[in-house]
Structures are given as C-alpha cells and as structure tokens.
Structure 1
Amino acid sequence: MNELAKLNDVRRQEVIALRDAVKERRRSSVPPAAAEYPLASLKARITQVLLERSGRAEIPWEVDILDRTRFGADLAVRVTGLLKESGAKEYIASHVPWIVEALRSPLLSDAVSEVSQKGIYVNVRLTDGWYLRAVQSIIDLGDRFGHNDRRSDRTQIVDYSSPNVAKVLHAGHLRSTMIGHVLGNLYEACGALVYRVNHINDFGGFGFMLEGYRRFESLFPTGMENNDRLLAIYSIRRTLERTVASGADLDTVAEADREVIATYFPGVTGAEALRKTYEDFIAASDARFERLEAGDPDEVALWLRMVEWSLADFQSFYAALNIHIDFTIGESFYLDAGNEVVDEAIRSGRAYVLTEEMVNEEVAKLDRAVNAGEMTPEVRAKSAALLEKDLGAVVVPLPGGERLVVRRSDGRSIYATRDVGAIKLRRDIFDPTDINYVVGQEQRVHFSRLFQAAEVLGLAKPGELNLKHTYFGFYVDAETGKKLSSRDSVAGVNELLSESVKHYRAKTAGSGGMTDEEVDQAAHQLAVGSVVFNDLKSDMKGTVNIVKGDLAPTIAAFEKSGGAYVVYSACRARSILRKYNRPLPQAADIASFDVSDQEALLLLRLLEFPEKVARAADEDNPSILVRHLLDIAGIYNSYYASAPVLEGDRANEFRLLITKSVQSVLVNGLSLCHVECPPKI
C-alpha cells in the first residue's frame, strides 16, 4: 500500500471516530415538538373544529396575523380550499357563517374571545389568558424556544467554506462560510443531525507547488513565512503563464512581472525561451503530481507539510468569525474511493472510454446539425474541440447527450473523480439523507452535471439521498459593478471587518460605563453581526457591494442592514432585566393585567418565531429569519418607548415577562444567524 493510501486509511478511522462524537453530542438534545408550540397548537385546534363542523377528511385553511390597532382582531382565517371551489360570493354566503360558528366553539373558548366576519375573512381576537400562558411558554423553553422536531428523521451534510490550499481566502469563502454555517444552524434547530464539512482543495494542481518549492526554495527571502512561500509559488507560476500567453519578450512585459521572472528564471529573456521554460515547468509539475497520486513517500511528506501550513493560516480567519466546522477533509481523502467508483462504472457500462470512433461519430452529428441549420459553425467548432480534448478520457453519459469526464486520458484523476468519491465516502460513513454544497454561482454547471452523474452511477438514488447546490453571488466593486478579484476581495473583506470593529469600538466606548475589554468584545460582535446580517438579509444569489478605498459608505450600509439594531434591541431588553435583578414572576401568579393592541402584535410575532425558523430551513433561506428578527426589534423598540416596564421600585409584571420573551427570542435568533449578543453595550 502506498503512503497516500496508508494515510487515508488512518484518516478514515479518525473521521469515523469524530462522526460518532458529533452524533452523540448532537443527539443528546431532544428538540421541542413543533406541534406543541402555542401558535401551532392553536392552529391544530382550529383545524379540528373546522374538520368536525365541515364533515370533511381534510380542510386546507390559511391564517394571517393582524394588527389590532387597524383591524380590531389578531388573526384572519380563510378556508382556501372552499374559497377556491365556491368562488368568493358563494363562499361568503354559504361557508363563512358556519366557519364563524365553528370558531365560537366552547372547545376554543380559552383562546378565542371574539369572532367576526370581514368579507372572505373570519377575524379572531384572542383571549388575554391565552397570551399570558403563551408568553410563559417562551420563557420556560429559554434557549430552546424556536427549535423543533420537523427534521428529526434527517441527517444532513453541509459542505461549505472550501478554501484552496496555497491560495488566499477571498470574499467567496467568507460568504460560503457564513451562509453554510447559518444553514447548518437552521437544520440543527429543526432537529436534523448535521455534519459540517470543510472540503479543502488540497490536491488538484499541487504538482506545481511541489515542483515550485524544490526549484525556488533557496531563492525565497530569508525569514519568509511558510504559507507565504506557497502563495509566492502560485504567483510565480501565474506570472510565467501570463507572460508566455502574451507572446512577449521579457523586456516588454510589466516591470513587476519582469522582476519575478528575472528572480526565479534567471537568464530567460526571449519569448521562445520563456515558452520552453514554461513547458518544462508544466511537464516537471505533472510528473510530481503523478508521483504524489501514486503515493511516493518524498512527495507525500512535502505535500503534507504544505497542507499544514495553509490550514494553520486559514485558522486565523475562522477564529476571527468564531466559526468551528466539524470536519476539515482534503479532497485527497476521496481519491481512492473516486477511482473505485470509476473502475466499477466502466465494468458495469455506466461509464466508458471516449474512443476516436465515438469522437468521429459525435463530430459527424455536429456537422449534420450545422447543415440542417440547427447549430452555428461557432458552436460546432467549440463542441468538436471539447470532444477532441476528451479523447481517451473516461466519461459518464448524462441526460440530454451531455457527459461528465471523471478521469483523464492518461489515467490520472481530476476534480470530478474526487467529487464522485466524496459522495460515495460520505454516503458510506455518514449515511446522510441530504448533502448541501454551499458554493458560489460559478460552480452551477459543475454541480448540475455531478448530481446527474451521481444518479447515473447509482451513488444517489432519488428519494434516498438528496444532493443540492446552494449558490450565492459575488462581492463586486460598488463603483464598476465588476466582480472583485480574489486578491482584491480578500483585502477588501479583511479591511472591512477591521474598519467595522473600529467604527463600533468608537460608538460603544462613547456610551460609557464599560471596561476596555467589554468595549472590544461588543465592537467585534457588532461588526461581525453587521457583516453577517447584510449578507443574509437579502437574496443571497445577488451581489454584495464593496466600496474600494473609502469603506465608510460600505460600513454605513452594512450597519443599516440591521444586525446591530437587533443586537441593541436584545441588549436593551437584557438591561431592563438586569436592572430588575430579581426572580421573574410566574404567569400563573399574575392576577391583574391587560393585553394592549401593541402587546398582542408583539407577542404574536414572538410566537411565530418557531415557524419562521422551520420555513427558513425548508427554503434554505436565512433571510426569512433575519427579516422576522428585524420586525420583532422594530415593534419592541416602539413598545419599549411607550410602555415602561420599571417605574421606580415598581414593576409591571406582565411587561417583565414580555421583555424576557423578547430578549430570549432575539438572542436565540441572533445565535442561529451566528451573531453573538454582547453582555453589555
């Protein structure tokens, strides 16, 4: 067994052990049943009285939450199935009367105080007692309020972040990390067993790193950090590649490029000499990778050191965001499994070697399509070139005449080889029901083909394993609208986080009454919260603007996205409770209270929280939760200003419970969005 295979055997046992630990830790907490929440329970009771009164086996209906100040009621009910069957006029005449009667049932008297008709709607006003019991349920569940058991039968892998060894982390990795981590939080909150996986690109293209390190190690500046050497090798290769592509002599290229080539390829000046040098570098790099893939001990040893350098450098990024991902697994781990899948596919006929005869047949089809006017010559030329490129490769046929190359013509693996191997190993080790790849939109075609190939290869049968690609847009230059380069975006994001911390430190320090340590903690959490909320609030498939140069407009825009606003609101509620500084009263002991119109709306929004969490998870859309938190914060801040909780030594006990409920829901929601609420602001 070669060194790489031995290493992967050890890794597999480590992954299995960690899997068991993660499973034990996460399965030890049983989420509340979704149906037991006050609002869900009330809806179930309403469904039951409607079913009994109608005599139907099922009766689809919908409910809208109302603002009492405008409508004099809390809920608006409409039986959508009957409305669609009958039409509005017949529905109002024939069905609304019995719906009103059903909702006045004694079975609902503890929850429903008034029922009235408004067109196709039946409006319901809820009792004060129902609200009091409901607010106590929020408090009793504490940090578990909002969690539910809707996905308790699911095991979900979330693949996110996924940086490339020997390259810089850029804005795409920041977005992938934040979106993927929050999606994992949502799935977990809904009862799923979630395995978070950071799929590191530690193999593809590594021949250049191995060859470059051996060629250039003695030329690197003294004291150069290990990971910086890897970044330098990547830059040297790209500089030479760019120069050769231009066809220019050394004395005509940009000064910076000329300096790099003169340093690392001394004496090479003419265009032809540069080309030969580049071809020699590629050939030597390919040979290095071939030896690495075969498990050569020297190549594996150097490769392992390089990977460790990059992972150590990445860790500062994850630490700054306080992100912990369960499994950091390089694509090299999936190499043997990928080759096994490809070999078995060839034996079973699910994949085949693309022969010259097949290529000629396909080119003939292209020619016929051009002659029939079904294809342009340009498209034909492009398709024919791809066929020629794939000659001798192993391909998996896909629906619609497409194909996925899963092994090169020289027998070496490619990304797709390791990707099909990843699906196989993840299926074998984790037994997942879902794998969600949180990767940028530029990978949409690749994942579409990969998922189709997985089905053809029998790796992902419909109904057994759901493969999904959750994609997102780019960070772009706010002025030009163009995608930021990797180097620009990583510099911009790092600077954005740094400047945001300074912005919030100045604001927080100005409020007084906090130690320097508390100010630093609050500033960092507010800065991260603003970046995260800005990313999650809008459609993640859209772009995010970064102003190059002066970051003040970007920081201001991010602050307006509301992350800091929600944090401030939660801290305001917490400060009231801290000032009260006594055990909270129990709802059962509160004899006298009234539920105001504003309180009814605020409480209904709080009680909707579990449903919003479930919907955000079902739709893979954190913005549903983010916007709900902003809504709660807005209502609470208006309520707080008009309804004092503490007046001297006296406290309004009902408002104290509302305040505690607001604080719990906002903190729970922020936590799901990976935003920490500092103890003080």
Structure 2
Amino acid sequence: MTSVSSASSDLARVVGDHRAAVIAKREEVQADRAARVNPGLDGYVWAQTEARLAQVVRDATGIDEVMLQLDLIDRAKFGGDIALKVPSLLKHGGPKRFIAEFQPAISEILQSERMADMVEAIELKGMYINITLTNAWLLGSAGQVVAMGDQFGLNDTMAGQNVVVDYSSPNVAKVLHAGHIRSTITGEVLSNVYDACGATVYRVNHINDFGGFGFLLEGYRRFHDAMPEGSTENQRLLAVYTIRRSMERIVETGAAKADWPAEDRAVVDTYFPGVEDAEGAKAAFAEFTAASDARFQALENGDPDEVALWEKMVEWSLADFQSFYRLLNIDIDFVIGESFYFQDGLDVIAEAIKAGTASVYTREEADAALAEVDRLHAAGEISDGEAEFRKLSIEKDCGSTVVHLPGGERFVLLRSDGRSIYATRDIGAIHRRNELFNPDHIVYVVGQEQRSHFERLFAAAEVLGMVRDGKPDLTHLYFGFYVDAETGKKLSSRASVSNVMALLDQAEKYFHGRLSEREGADADGAARQLTVGSLVFNDLKQDIKGSVDIDVSSLENTILGFERAGGAYAVYTACRARSILRRYGSEPKTVEQIGAFELNAQEAKLLLMLQQTPQKVAEAARRANPTYLLRHLLDIAMEYNSYYTVAPVLGDDGANESRVLITKAVQLVLVNGLAICHIDTPESI
C-alpha cells in the first residue's frame, strides 16, 4: 500500500502546509460563530402564539400530549385569522368527543380574560376553531420585527451543532459544468440557512485535484509543444483531457480510421502521428496509459518534480474557476483538494485491515460470488444483462481492498495494485473532517448521478466505525439537471454551462437596461444583484430535485422566464417598501405611539405571514431544502404588492402609521430572508 507519510515527501509537505491553513481558517469560523448569538425561536410572536394555544388545549382537556395544526385563513371569508385543529385529541374519543367535550372547553378558555390580549373572537367550524386575533397582538408582531432589525428570522434551532457542507466541487483541468453551478447555488444558500439557525457551518469546496492526474502530468509534458500556439496553461490541460477522451472512444469502438469521427482523427494525427488503424491506436494509448500510471505513482510517492508540476496545474485551474465564483459573489471558506485526504484514506484502510472491517477480495471469494450469480441466473431471478454486469464487477474487484456491506455488496477502497481511487479519498475525507470539525452533519450537495456512490460510501463509513450513534449524520442532497425547455432532454455539460453563463451575461445587460434610466438607481450593482437573485430563484423555487428548464432556442425568452422565476420580483418589492419608507422620512412609530388603529383582513394575513418566517427558516434547515424559505418570501412579496396598491401607506392627509410599521416589517423580512438566500437588495432601483 502506498504511503506518503515520510517527512521527505513533497506531497506530504504540501498537504501539511494546507492542513495548517485549514486549521487557522477553522479557528476563524469558530470565533465568528462564538461572537454571534442567534435569538431563540420560542421568543418570536408566532411561536408564542403556538405555545399559548397549546397550553390552552392542555388545560382544557387535561391531556399533555398536544399536536396543533394551525392554518392561516382569510378573516373576511372564514371569520378568523387562524384555523385551530388538534389532531392528537382524536386518539381520545374521536371526533364526537372532540366536538361534544373538548371543543367547548377549549373555546371557553379562548374567550376568557386570560386570552383577551391575544384572542378577539372565535367561531366554530366543524373540527376547527377559527380564531380572530386582536389588532394589538397582530401589530405588536410588526413591532417585534422592527425592534429586532437584521436579527429577525434568525433562530437557535441548530445552536451548538457543527455542519460541514460539501459543495461546488469542480474537477481540476476541466470546465465548470451545469452540475457545479447548481451545486454551488444550493450549497451556498443551504449553508446560509444552517448559519441562520445557529449552527457552526464549515463551507467546503471539495476539489478533485488528484484522480486522473497521471494523464495530465504525462500529457502536459508529452504534448505541450504540439498544442496550438498561444494556448493558455489551463487550455493545455483541457486539451490533454480531450486527447484522452478521443483515444478512449477510438479504442472502445475498434473502428477503422476512416470511420473515426473527424475530431478524433484530428487528435490522432496531431498527437499520435503514424497511427493509422485501431490496433495502432490501442497500442499507442496503452503506452500512454502506462506512462501516465507511472506519473501518478510518482505523485503519490511525493516525487518533487511531479508534485511541483501538479501544484502549478491546480493553481491554474483554481484561478480559472474564480471568474464564476466572483460572478456569483461567492467565496467558499475551505477549498480542499482530494490530495488533502489521500494519506488519511490509506491510514483508515490500514487500520480497517488490522481490525478486520476491510480485506482483500480474494480469488476464492470471487469464485464463490460468480457461482452465486450463475445460480441466480439459472433460477431466472436475474436477467442475462444483470448476470453479465455482476460478473464483470466481480472480476474487476478481485484483488482489490474492499469493505463488505450489508446485503452482500462490497465497496472498493483500493485497486488491486494498491493504488488509491476516489473512494480512498472520500473515506479519508470523512475521517479527517471528523477530526477537524467534529461535525454533527456532513451534507454533500452533489448531482443525482452520484446517488449510488454516496449510499455505498455512507454504508462503508458505518461498517468502518466512522459513524457512531448516528454522528455524523451523512446526507447526500442531490439535484436535478438543466434540460432543454422544448425537448425536456438533459443538456450536455458543455452546452449547459455555456448557455447558463451566456444567460447570466445577457440577463445582467437586460436588467441594466431596465434600470439605467431610473433616477438614483445604481444600475451596475443592482443589475448584478437582480441577476444573481433571478438565478437563485430559478434554481431553487421548485423542488431542488427537479430539473431546470433552459430555452436553448431563444435566449430572450429564457431571460424573461428567468425574471419571472421571482427573484427580481421579491427584490423589487423590498425596494418598493424601502422607497415608501424613504418618503416617510423617519423611523416608524411604535405600537404604543400609534394609538388607535384598525387592521383589515389582508393586513392580518400579511402580519401572520411575516411572523412565520423564522419557522420557515428552521423548516428549510430541517428538511435541507432552501425552497421552503424562497417560496415563503415570494408569497410575502406577492401579498404586499397586492396590499399596498389598495391600502395607501402615504396619502394627501399624511401617513397611516400602522401601515408604515407594517411596511417597515415587510421590508426587513424580505431583505433579511433574501440575504439568507444569497440575494442582496439594492438601496434603490
């Protein structure tokens, strides 16, 4: 088994230096979290409303186990603001007892002096008790929003928990594809959500800077001078990847040279002159592969020349990736390559072999597995194709180091020649992250095509004892593809990234054009903010596991659909509220200063929606899905736009002070919530 633990290894030196930097950054993240204390969820008005109603039910029924269902309803239509239902009481006598005994007792307390500050009136509707809240209670909730300012929405539901979010994760020497774009957006917003719930969040960009590097090291040296003049270093790395893929296709098909695709034929003529047929291509590629394997072996062993070139290659790619991260204004705390975990993976595997939780998959085991496949096939329990697939897998794994998983599966940790693979570094990553971050949760925001890998990786971590009593909780949060809006087919990696990047560029120009003539607008900054907001909403407003449509036939139509996703709309609404407040010219009055006021049905609904925001943030964290927060913010924006057009805040006779307070609360909730979603709100547009 390869090891680079020697002090003389240049690779060990690089990893050691990086580890020191990671530890320093970890201390910075921890200090930042320690300096910020999130407000308790139970201190919010909506939580207090739930708690008081739950206590009423306990007191009225004598039953401690209470599960409330609270639904917002239209006061004008249903005679209340909240519909109260208690499903847990149905276990105690069913609907008849509830209506005959429990409902009257609950209603009596709700109408008592004890609840007079909160409850204005009630109306019974079957199994529901419709509650109208007092104006003072409702407007007081707006006062709480204003008093808390930029703290409103934050909560403590994950206080004391450590969360590692692994996202973006591009491959060195390749271009960012659509999966990286979706991963970056989802991972960044989800990290913000966890942070808003009080967790210490370690944002990790897990770079593939090791797997397949033998080809890059060999190809860069071998083909450098044959590449087009003026190529950048990163373009040379991409060219090596293209060369490898072309040769793989030729060898796989075994076709005559005349039948090779033109681009593959051009690769052979340029980089493998003299190769004229499939056999010649196979021999040339085998030689190239063997030389590449030797380069990677040298890199694993810490050879100074290989390590020096490898470091440069990684730097070239990371610099190229930064243009995308700058475009989205994203700076991920920890950029850690697979190389960081290479030795950790080897160490874990060595200990697992000693403990008997990992072993070499022997010829005897393979033969027994092959016999079982034949038995299943003969019995008609598996198809011809499945039998062939299983046999190929068994033969491939023979001699490898594996973990035997529940259900008879195995997870390969090392190749039969002792060389590391992705799984080696993934196992090492869990080990090192446990040591560095003591995580309660590790969330991998990676595309759906990796589902099987992560299921098996997590199972292997359990067998190896890296997860104890459910800690860390390992989660693969996957997402859907970018697809052609017309055909529904997945876009190719290159096509999707080029279309999305072109979309971002054109969308920014579109928003800039709309804003440039507005007095007082920062067209440049606001256009970028609206573009990012639209991208986030377009990606996350639906279930993240679903696909995202890109209209490849019409960029103009796509941009319009992009805007309609809702991000720009929510930003416009926050800015509109801010504009009203600027015209008002001072801080809103408190509830006590306002004096007499009346609230209409829409105001009651809007105020309750605002109050549910902290719970929506907590729900987005609990479900590992930012969609729950985004949809809520969009609903608030739509409700406020409908509201303020029929309920003037500022009029010829002066300001309606309660509406000013409501407007301020809306503005704060939208700005705070959008910030959690990685959307900045301009001062004016």
For Structure 1 versus Structure 2, the TM-score category normalised by the shorter chain is over 0.9
Long gaps (5+) in structure 1: none
Hey, what does 1:632 align to over in structure 2?
Answer: 636
Q: CA deviation at 1:262?
A: 1.6
Residue aligning to 2:437: 430
**Which of 367, 374, 395 is the aligned partner of 2:402?**
395
- The DSSP-based 3-state class of the residue aligned with 1:644 is coil
Matching of residues 381-420 of structure 1 within 5 Å: 381-420=388-427
Distance 1:86 1:501, change over 3 A: same
1:548 maps to a residue whose letter is V
**Partner amino acid, structure 1, of 2:288:** F
Partners of 2:118 and 2:96 lie apart in 1 by 29
Stretch moving more, 248-257 or 302-311: 248-257
For residue 327 of structure 1, what is the aligned residue in structure 2? 334
Letter in 2 for 1:57: D
Query: Does the 8 A contact of 2:167 with 2:184 survive in 1?
Result: yes
Give the corresponding residue for 1:500: 507
Residue 591 of structure 1 pairs with residue 598 of structure 2? no
Within a 5 Å distance, the mapping from 1:185-204 to structure 2 comes to 185-204=192-211
Letter matched to residue 370 of structure 1: H
Q: Deviations over 1:506-545 (max 9, x none)?
A: 22235x2146xx1122222112211110111111111111
Alpha-carbon distance between aligned partners in 2 of 1:9 and 1:215, rounded to the nearest angstrom:
30
Amino acid across the alignment from 1:560: R
Name the amino acid aligned to 1:447. Answer: F
Counterparts in 2 of 1:246 and 1:377: CA distance versus 1, 3 Å: closer
Q: CA deviation at 1:256?
A: 2.8
What is the SS of the residue equivalent to 2:450? helix
Structure 2: how far apart are the matches of 1:651 and 1:253?
76
Matches within 5 A, 1:281-320: 281-320=288-327
Number of the residue aligned with 1:93: 100
Q: SS state of the match for residue 605, structure 2?
A: helix
- Residue 89 of structure 1 aligns with an amino acid whose one-letter code is K
Aligned to 1:260: 267
Structure 1 residue identity aligned to 2:449: E
Give the distance between the partners of 2:377 and 2:631, measured in 1 at CA. Answer: 51
| 1:271-670 alignment runs, 5 A limit | 271-510=278-517, 512-514=518-520, 518-648=522-652, 650-670=654-674
Is the Cα contact below 8 Å between 2:139 and 2:607 reproduced in 1? no
Asked whether 1:33 is paired with 2:57, we answer no
Q: Is the 8 A contact 2:163 2:199 kept in 1?
A: yes
**Deviations, residues 286-329 of structure 1 (Å, cap 9, x unaligned):** 11001101111100000000000000000110000011111000
* 8 Å CA contact retained: 2:60, 2:102: no
How far apart are the structure 2 equivalents of 1:672 and 1:93? 46
Measured after TM superposition, the shift of residue 251 of structure 1 is: 4.2
The 8 Å contact of residues 65 and 88 in structure 2, kept in 1 or not, is answered as no
TM-score w.r.t. the length of structure 2 is 0.97
**How far apart are residue 84 of structure 1 and its match?**
4.1
1:82 aligned residue (71, 80, 89): 89
TM-score (norm 1): 0.97
Deviation at 1:61, TM superposition (A): 2.0
Partner of 2:147: 140
Q: More displaced, 220-229 or 387-396?
A: 220-229
The residue type paired with residue 646 of structure 1 is: L
Q: How far is the alpha carbon of 1:49 from its aligned partner?
A: 2.5
Which runs of structure 2 are paired with 1:4-153 in the superposition (5 Å)?
A: 4-153=11-160
Distance 2:293 2:378 in 1: 41
| 335-344 or 524-533, which deviates more | 524-533
Of the structure 1 ranges 133-142 and 298-307, higher mean CA displacement relative to structure 2 is found in 133-142
- Which stretch of the first structure deviates more once superposed, 301-310 or 650-659? 650-659
Shift of 1:649: 7.1
**Partner amino acid, structure 1, of 2:439:** P
State the alpha-carbon separation in 2 of the partners of residues 664 and 192 from structure 1: 22
SS in 2 for 1:592: coil
Q: Of 659, 672, 677, which residue of structure 1 is paired with 2:676?
A: 672
CA distance, structure 2, for counterparts of residue 130 and residue 159 of structure 1: 42
Q: Is the 8 A contact 1:49 1:105 kept in 2?
A: no
**1:6 CA drift (Å):** 1.9
Separation (CA, whole Å) in 2 of partners of 1:645 and 1:373: 74
Partner of 2:231: 224
Distance in 1, Cα, partners of 2:331 & 2:200: 16
- Taking the aligned partners of 1:345 and 1:86, their CA distance within structure 2 comes to 56
Q: Distance in 2 between matches of 1:242 and 1:381?
A: 22
SS of the equivalent of 1:670 reads helix
CA distance in 2, matches of 1:497, 1:400: 47
- SS of the equivalent of 2:616 reads helix
Two-structure CA RMSD over aligned residues (Å): 1.4
CA distance in 1, matches of 2:453, 2:231: 37
CA separation in 2, counterparts of 1:649 and 1:195? 53
Q: Deviations over 1:326-369 (max 9, x none)?
A: 10000110001100111111111101101111111111111222
Per-residue CA shift, 1:61-93, capped at 9, x if unaligned?
A: 221111112112111112211134333233211
Distance 2:156 2:262 in 1: 62
CA distance in 1, matches of 2:561, 2:681: 20
Match of 1:158, SS state, is: strand
The Cα of 1:679 is off from its aligned counterpart by: 1.7
Structure 1 runs of 4+ aligned residues shifted over 3 Å read 248-252
Shift of 1:120: 1.0
Aligned equivalents of 1:254 and 1:152: distance in 2?
57
Deviates more, 1:339-348 or 1:88-97: 88-97
Q: Which runs of 5+ in 2 are unaligned?
A: 1-5
* Corresponding letter in the other structure for 2:58: L
Q: Is the 8 A contact 1:251 1:269 kept in 2?
A: no
Number of corresponding residues: 678
Distance 1:361 1:243 in 2: 35
**Which whole-Å CA distance do the structure 2 matches of 1:255 and 1:382 have between them?**
32
C-alpha displacement at 1:650, in angstroms?
Answer: 1.7
Aligned partner of residue 629 in structure 1, secondary structure: helix
1:154 maps to amino acid = Q
Q: How far apart, CA to CA, are the structure 1 residues paired with 2:261 and 2:411?
A: 39
Tell me, yes or no, if the aligned pair for 1:202 and 1:307 is still in contact at 8 Å.
yes
- TM-superposed CA distance for 1:143, in Å, is 1.1
Q: Which moved more, 1:56-65 or 1:450-459?
A: 56-65
* Structure 2 CA distance for aligned equivalents of residues 618 and 18 of structure 1: 26
Structure 2 Cα separation of the partners of residues 161 and 329 of structure 1: 11
Give the Cα–Cα distance (whole angstroms) in 1 for the partners of residues 266 and 678 of structure 2. 45
Aligned to 1:328, what secondary structure does the other structure show? strand
2-side partners of 1:522 and 1:21: how far apart? Answer: 31
- d(CA) in 2 for partners of 1:242, 1:617: 44
Matches of 2:406 and 2:465, distance apart in 1: 14
Q: Is the 8 A contact 2:257 2:277 kept in 1?
A: yes
Q: Which stretch of the first structure deviates more once superposed, 158-167 or 78-87?
A: 78-87
